[in-house]
Amino acid sequence: MQTTINYRYERSASRLTVGAHLFGILALILLLVWLLHYRGGIDYDSDNSDRVFNVHPFLMFFGFIFFAGEAMMAYKTVMSGHKVQKYVHALLHLVALCSGIFGICINDMYSLHSWIGLTTFILYGLQVPATFLFSRGMSESSRLRIVPWHMSMGRALLYLSICAALTGLMEKFAFLRISNVLGRRESHLINFTGLSILLFGIFVDLSVALARYV
């Protein structure tokens, strides 16, 4: 009976990863439509400061959050041995870390978005290398003891990064609205992008946690 139930939740958890992929890709498409069609495009090396700025939301969502989320789900999505899953998990986190380093954009440290964003990135920037370094010299039993803390920290960081993304969208939204350049369509687009990012986070989180609830 217990095995049947566990199996049921494992299956549900892998269905949740499908949901996470879908919401992640949906958020990416909506974000690209917003940045390319409404906000003048994305260009790292341009005279137009808006286009340079647009690199930030793109890299922070697609490069950082999306890859970090995929890394968290690697143990469920990669149909292979534990060792391969572990390498994919580490590789995807490295991609996320590098994207974050290129994508972070500190104009000022005034708003709630910048506070949450920088906190997230510093903690993430500590967790990824710390995991690499500490887990090397550890015995199997110490490693197993660390796992719940590593997962909890990772989940909290995902939570933080989603909050950073949403406060960022909300900040941009408020400035565009006050400047009277925000039409009804663009505002809906921003909101749907925000909801998709939020649902991506929820699905990643549940897929990681659900099978462990039994």
Q: Which residues in 169-198 contact its own copies (CB under 8 A)?
A: 169-171, 173-175, 177-178, 187, 190-191, 194-195, 198
Q: Report, in Å, the least distance between residue 158 CB and its own copies.
A: 10
- Is residue 205 involved in binding its own copies (CB under 8 A)? yes
Q: How many chain residues touch its own copies (CB under 8 A)?
A: 45
Q: Which residues in 131-150 contact its own copies (CB under 8 A)?
A: 145, 147-148
Q: Residue 141, exposed/middle/buried by CB under 10 A (0-12, 13-18, 19+)?
A: exposed
Collapsed DSSP state (helix, strand, coil) of residue 90: helix
91 vs 174, beta carbon nearer its own copies: 174
78 vs 195, beta carbon nearer its own copies: 195
- Is residue 127 involved in binding its own copies (CB under 8 A)? no
Q: Of the listed pieces 53-61, 78-86, 124-132, 166-174, which binds its own copies according to CB under 8 A?
A: 166-174
25 vs 202, beta carbon nearer its own copies: 202
Cβ-contact 189, 34 below 8 angstroms: yes
- Is residue 27 involved in binding its own copies (CB under 8 A)? no
- Is residue 122 involved in binding its own copies (CB under 8 A)? no
- Is residue 111 involved in binding its own copies (CB under 8 A)? yes
DSSP 210: G
Tell me, what amino acid is at 24?
G
Q: Report, in Å, the least distance between residue 155 CB and its own copies.
A: 7
Instruction: Please tell me the distance from the alpha carbon of residue 133 to that of residue 89, in angstroms, as a whole number.
Output: 15
95 vs 146, beta carbon nearer its own copies: 146
Collapsed DSSP state (helix, strand, coil) of residue 101: helix
The 3-state secondary structure of 168-191 reads HHHHHHHHHHHCCCCCHHHHHHHH
Instruction: Please tell me the distance from the alpha carbon of residue 71 to that of residue 87, in angstroms, as a whole number.
Output: 10
Count the helix, strand and coil residues of the chain and give each as a percent rounded to the nearest 5: 85, 0, 15
Instruction: Please tell me the distance from the alpha carbon of residue 44 to that of residue 131, in angstroms, as a whole number.
Output: 31
Instruction: Please tell me the distance from the alpha carbon of residue 38 to that of residue 77, in angstroms, as a whole number.
Output: 34
> Which residue ranges make up the site for its own copies (CB under 8 A)?
5, 9, 110-113, 115-116, 119, 145, 147-148, 151-152, 155-156, 159-160, 162-163, 166-167, 169-171, 173-175, 177-178, 187, 190-191, 194-195, 198, 201-202, 205-206, 209-210, 212-214
